[in-house]
A and B are shown apart, each in its own frame.
Chain A
Amino acid sequence: MNIESVAGRALPTTIPAYLAQLRAALHDADPAMVQDALYDAEEYLRSELAAQPGRSEAEVIADVAGSYGAPEEVADIYRETEITVNRALRTPSAGTAPLRRAVPAGTGADAVPPPPAPPRPRSALARFFGVALEARTYGALFYMLLSLATGTFFFTWVVTGLSLSLGLMVLIIGIPVAVLFFGSVRGLSLLEGRLVEALLGERMPRRPTYSDRSRSWLQRIGDMFTDGRTWLTLLYFVLMLPLGIVYFTIATTLLSTSMGFIWAPVAALFSSSYVGLHIDGSQMLPVWITPLLAVVGVLLLFATLHLARGIGRLHGMMAKQLLVRL
């Protein structure tokens, strides 16, 4: 099973060429997965090369094509596993032991035994209220609330880092500060990626981006500044402050308004003056209308959940565009 694979396209002779071929083979795949696949392949190739001193890169890669797989094979394996993992991680109803579902994690596409039951067509009503049963809804809602804190932090970090590095650039310390700052931005981007994936369900990379190791340290530091990705990440972090404020405001306003509406009849039981619409000190809302308000509140609550999901999806897409590019 290991020998037949070497046939086909000519094998690359250097590690960067191997990785380039792997990237080309994965060109239509999820960029987050490509980043992980390149990272894994590089770790394996470099370790193999280090374990066999005296042999040329080309020889080592020829061996590796048998054991690790030629780029096209590796691409197929990752693609298949991704499908499996996606299927394993997707929980049809919230909270049914997601942990156990994630375990199978096999290499074959058929690792998850239960065949996906054909989705029953749900009525519009069920779809509208069903949103409350899906874990992702609450993930998105929590992300909206959390984004005020993370947004403020990211914004502060970027603004402080940028101005500190620029300001100190006249002294020589500005240069190491800038390098450290840009390095930290990459780490933060990975961290935000984890948040986005956990809460919004958008697949984000789990490994840092591949950097060409044949270049010197200085060149690689230079690459960090000329890389468009670094600047897009900075843009994302700056955007996070206004976005975080908007998300937080939307979430808290809509949640508290709907909660207020829902509890209006209960409040009216105690005193009719608690509930109502006061214009010029006079009550404009009769008490009998409060049950109606409660219904409106429930509808508003579910509409809010839908809105949170929508915002979550949009934000996930934006994060993917700005934080993950190959």
Chain B
Amino acid sequence: MSDHDLHLKKFQKELSSGTVSLALLAVLAKAGEPLYGYLIAKELERIGEGVLSGKQSALYPVLRNLEGAGLLESHVEPSVAGPPRRYYRINDTGHEVLRQWTAAWRATRDSVDSVLEGVTE
């Protein structure tokens, strides 16, 4: 039992490593306005299933990395609730990368689906 759980956890971890970046880019591209970490996390929580419903603390480092890679831009605004918030916005490179990633994702999803077709559950 716990052995199966372990396999599942490992699989989820590997599956999430790329998809989370893709999902974050997509959320920011759809939003059309800058969002800060918490809002992005809540948006993913609302629609997230499977690996996207993992711990939301994992999103922050990924956001930072996406910014470091030049796909997002950010600025800081003070907030009454707590520390100043960092708002993220997708830039042109980000849009372009998202387009390519989406194509790669769709192709992968379709072929994985067709491979899985007929596999008894």
**Contact surface of A with B, Cβ cutoff 8 Å:** 1-2, 5, 36, 39-51, 67-69, 73-74, 77-78, 81-82, 84-85, 88, 99, 102-111, 206-208, 210-211, 213
Contact = CB atoms under 8 A, between A and B. Distances in A.
Given A77-B57, A78-B61, A107-B13, A50 B71 contact: no
Given A107-B62, A108-B13, A213-B82, A40 B57 contact: yes
Given A105-B66, A105-B69, A43 B85 contact: yes
A47 B17 contact: no
Nearest to B84: A208
Contact of A68 (B53, B55, B86): B55
Given A1-B54, A99-B69, A42 B81 contact: no
Nearest to B17: A106
A213 B80 CA distance: 11
Contacts of B57: 40-41, 44, 68-69, 73-74, 77-78
B38 A107 contact: no
Contacts of B80: 50
B57 to A, nearest CB: 4
29 contacts: A5-B55, A40-B37, A43-B37, A43-B83, A43-B86, A44-B38, A44-B41, A44-B56, A46-B82, A46-B83, A47-B39, A47-B81, A48-B38, A50-B82, A67-B41, A68-B55, A69-B55, A77-B55, A77-B58, A77-B61, A105-B21, A105-B66, A105-B68, A105-B69, A106-B16, A108-B14, A110-B14, A111-B18, A213-B82
> From DSSP, what is the main secondary structure of chain A's interface residues?
helix
B119 to A, nearest CB: 23
Interface in B1-53: 12-14, 16-18, 20-21, 36-39, 41, 45, 53
A42 B44 CA distance: 19
Given A73-B57, A81-B58, A111-B18, 16 more contacts: A1-B12, A36-B61, A41-B57, A43-B83, A44-B56, A46-B82, A47-B39, A50-B81, A77-B55, A88-B65, A102-B65, A103-B21, A103-B65, A103-B69, A105-B61, A207-B86
Nearest to A78: B61
B109 interface: no
A105 B68 CA distance: 10
A105 B62 contact: yes
Interface residues of B, number: 39
A207 B81 CA distance: 17
A108 B13 CA distance: 5
A36 B86 CA distance: 12
A1 B86 CA distance: 28
Given A2-B53, A106-B62, A213-B82, A111 B17 contact: yes
B53 A1 contact: yes
Contacts of B71: 103
A36 B16 contact: no
Contacts of B64: 36, 206
A67 B36 contact: no
A99 B97 CA distance: 12
B60 interface: yes
A74 to B, nearest CB: 4
Contacts of A106: 16-18, 20-21, 62
